[in-house]
Amino acid sequence: MRSFLFVPADSAKKLDKAMTSGADALIVDLEDSIALDGKARARQSAAAFLREAMAAPRRPYLLVRVNGLQTGLTDADLDTVAPAKPDAIMLPKAEGGAAVTHADAKLAVREALNGLPDGAIKILPIATETGSALFLMGTFAGASTRLIGLTWGAEDLSAELGARANRDAQNRFLDPYRLARALCLAGAAAAQVPAIDTVYVDFRDDKGFRRECEEACRDGFVGKMAIHPAQLPIINEVFTPSAEALARAQEIVDAFTQNPGAGVVAIGGAMYDRPHLARAERLLAGAKASTRSN
C-alpha cells in the first residue's frame, strides 16, 4: 500500500467521497480530528461506514485510528468498531512492542466475542509520538503477528518536546524529527515490516510534498499518509516503481539466478552484490503485491 488518507469518523460525506479518492487505504479517525464530546457519535458513524464499506466489491484497505491506550478511550472505540470488522486499527502514541501486545490482547477479546478469526484485525502503530517511544523503536519485532507496518508522527512529538516548530522555513523537518523518522525506518526493518512515512500538513505545497515523497521513497519508506485527497496522486505516482526500475530489478534477480553461487554480478558495466539483490527482490515483491491489491 502506497497512500493512506486520514478521514474524520464523524463526517459521513467525507467518508463516502474517500472511497473513490484513489487512496490505497483509508484511516477512519477517532482520535485527533474528533473532540472529546463527539467521540461517542464518531464511533457510531465509523461503525456504520465500515459495515457498508467492507462489503464493497472494490474498496481501499480500511483502518480505524483509535484513541491511544493512555487515554482510557480505546476499549470503547474497539467495542464499537470491532464488530464492523475493519482490516486494521492504527494505534497512536504506541510506546514500543508492549503497546502492540496490549492492543493485540484487546482485539483478541473482541474478535472472540464477535465470531471473528483470531488475528483478523491487524495493527499499524504510530511509533514516535512520545519521547519514551523513541527509546523503544527496536522492541516491535515479535510483538504481535498482527503488526503490518510502522509509521511515525511529528506533531504530537513536537508538542511533548515543547518545540516551537518541527520544520524549517523550507518545510524540511528539524533534527529531532529527522531522528524520529530514521528510528521508524530502523524499527520497521528490525521488525521486518514496511515503513510508512508521516503526513505533510501543507497540502497546497505540491513542490515540497513531492520532494518529501521522493526522499521517503529513496530512503526505504514504501508509502505515505495524507491529510487531503489532493495529495494522493503524488503519493501514488512517487511510490509506484517505474517500468525502468522494475526492469533493472528483474535483470539483477535474473543475473543471480543464472549465477547462484556468485557474490557479485556484472550488468551493463556495473557491479551488483547481494544487498542489491535483496533490494531488487523487495521492489519486485512490492510491485506484485500492489498489483494483486488493485
- Measured between alpha carbons, how far is residue 190 from residues 116, 181, 209, 216 in Å? 29, 14, 28, 18
* Res 283: pLDDT: 79
Short-list 158, 82, 94, CA closest to 122: 82
| CATH value at residue 33 | 3.20.20.60
Residues 197 and 286 in one domain: no
Number of domains observed in the structure of the chain = 2
d(CA 148, CA 170): 32
Where is 8: in which H helix or E strand?
strand 3-8
Q: What is the pTM of this model?
A: 0.89
CA distances to 74, 129, 201, 272 from 93, in Å: 12, 5, 19, 40
> Which residues of the chain have a pLDDT value below 70?
289-294
Domain holding 210, by residue range, is 3-238
**Is residue 56 domain-shared with residue 123, that is, in the same domain?**
yes
How far apart are the C-alpha atoms of 28 and 170, rounded to whole Å?
30
As beta bridge partners, residue 8 has 29
Q: Strand 270-273 vs strand 264-267: parallel, antiparallel, or unpaired?
A: antiparallel
Judge residue 5's burial from the number of C-beta atoms within 10 Å of its C-beta, 0-12 exposed, 13-18 middle, 19 or more buried.
buried
Picking from 170, 177, 119, the residue whose alpha carbon sits closest to that of residue 153 is 177
pLDDT digits (tens, 9 = 90+) for 112-166: 999 999 999 999 999 999 999 999 999 999 999 999 999 999 999 999 999 999 9
**pLDDT for 290:** 62
End-to-end CA distance of the chain: 10
pLDDT at 287: 74
Residues 285 and 216 in one domain: no
**Under 8 Å between Cβ of 31 and 66:** yes
How many angstroms separate the Cα of 49 from the Cα of each of 67, 68, 81?
18, 21, 10
Q: 82 and 222, same structural domain? A: yes
Question: What pLDDT was estimated at residue 251?
Answer: 85
Residue 241's pLDDT is 84
Residues 192 and 249 occupy one common structural domain: no
11 beta partners: none
Q: What grid cell was written down for 82?
A: 470491532
Q: Are residues 234 and 250 located together in one domain of the fold?
A: no
Phi, psi of 205 (to 5 degrees): -95, 80
| Contact indicator for 229, 18 with CB cutoff of 8 Å | yes
**Residue 136 in contact with residue 97, Cβ under 8 Å?**
yes
pLDDT at site 289: 66
Q: Taking each helix axis as running N to C, give the angle between helix 243-258 and helix 274-293, from 0 to 180 degrees, rounded to the nearest 10.
A: 130
Q: What is the 8-class DSSP label of residue 248?
A: H
Looking at the structure, tell me whether residues 272 and 221 fall in a common domain: no
Asked if residue 269 and residue 139 are part of one domain, the reply reads no
pLDDT of residue 294: 55
Tell which of 221, 238, 255 closes a domain. Answer: 238
**DSSP letter for each residue of 76-132:** HHHHHHGGG--SEEEETT--SHHHHHHHHHHHHHHHHHTTPPTT-SEEEEB--SSHH
117/260 same-domain check? no
Q: Are 88 and 123 in contact (CB under 8 A)?
A: yes
- Residue 188 near residue 195, CB atoms below 8 Å: yes
Q: Is residue 28 domain-shared with residue 78, that is, in the same domain?
A: yes
Q: What is the pLDDT of residue 246?
A: 80
